[in-house]
Amino acid sequence: FLYCVSIDIRAESSIIFIQALFRAYSARQIYEHSINKKLEKAALVVKEIYSSEQVYVSRLDLVLKLYIDPLSNRSKAISLGLSEEDVRHLFDVSLMKIIASFHRSEFLKELNINVDNWAKDQSIIKSFKLLIGFIKVYTQYINNFDNASLALKKLRESNLAFSNFLNENAAKPESNKLDLETLLIEPIQRIPRYQLLLKELLRNLPIHHPEYTILVQALNSVKEIASTINTRKAMALGRHAVVRVYSLIQPQTEVQDLIQPTRVLVHEGRLKQYYVDFDQMEGFYFYLFNDLLIKTKHNTIKFVTIDTKKFRQRWSLEGAEVHDNPDSRLPKAWKIKFGNGEQILIGGRTMEEKTEWLKHLHETLARSRQSFDINVRQGLQTKITNVI
pLDDT band at 10 (very low <50, low <70, confident <90, very high): low
Residue 278: left if φ>0, alpha if ψ -120 to 50, beta else—which one? left
Mean pLDDT confidence for 144-161? 88
pLDDT confidence band for 343 (50 / 70 / 90): very high
> Alpha carbon of 276 to those of 140, 273, 344, 345: distances in Å?
53, 10, 11, 10
Three-state secondary-structure class, residue 303: coil
Residue 319 pLDDT > 80: yes
- Distance of alpha carbon 152 from alpha carbon 180, whole angstroms: 9
- Per-residue pLDDT reduced to its tens digit, 197-216: 999 988 888 888 888 888 89
pLDDT (0 to 100) of residue 352: 94
75/384: higher pLDDT: 75
pLDDT at residue 147, rounded to an integer: 83
Residues in the chain: 388
Express each pLDDT in 156-189 by its tens digit: 989 999 999 999 999 999 998 899 999 998 998 8
Q: Is the pLDDT of residue 373 over 70?
A: no
Mean pLDDT, to the nearest integer, of 60-73?
Answer: 95
DSSP string, 56-94: HHHHHHHHIIIIIHHHHSHHHHHHTT--HHHHHHH--HH
Residue 366, pLDDT score: 92
pTM for the model: 0.61
